[in-house]
Structure 1
Amino acid sequence: MISNNTIIPSIRKYKYFEKALSCQSEYVLLSEANIGICSR
């Protein structure tokens, strides 16, 4: 279950996949979108 405090690593390039998997999160978001600009 995802709570409000869950941090999900997001990657746009496959070369960062291993780094994202090393995070404690159970989830990894693979996205073509630049979600860093979606603040609202």
Structure 2
Amino acid sequence: MSGGRAVAELNEQIIAKEVWPKTALKENDMLEIVTFMGGGSK
């Protein structure tokens, strides 16, 4: 994702981007990644 913004949530807790590389996933973990988009109506 070039230049975009994203938030990661692990088991309903937002995790800081700085700890993403150090975060190990375990069986039955729920990972959700949310990206933001601009837009709207005129």
Q: TM-score, normalised by structure 1?
A: 0.26
Which has a greater percent of helix? Answer: 1
Is the radius of gyration larger for structure 1 or structure 2?
Answer: 2
Structure in which a larger fraction of residues adopt strand: 2
Higher normalized contact order (CA 8 Å, seq sep 6+, divided by chain length): 2
What TM-score, normalized by structure 2, do the two folds share? 0.26
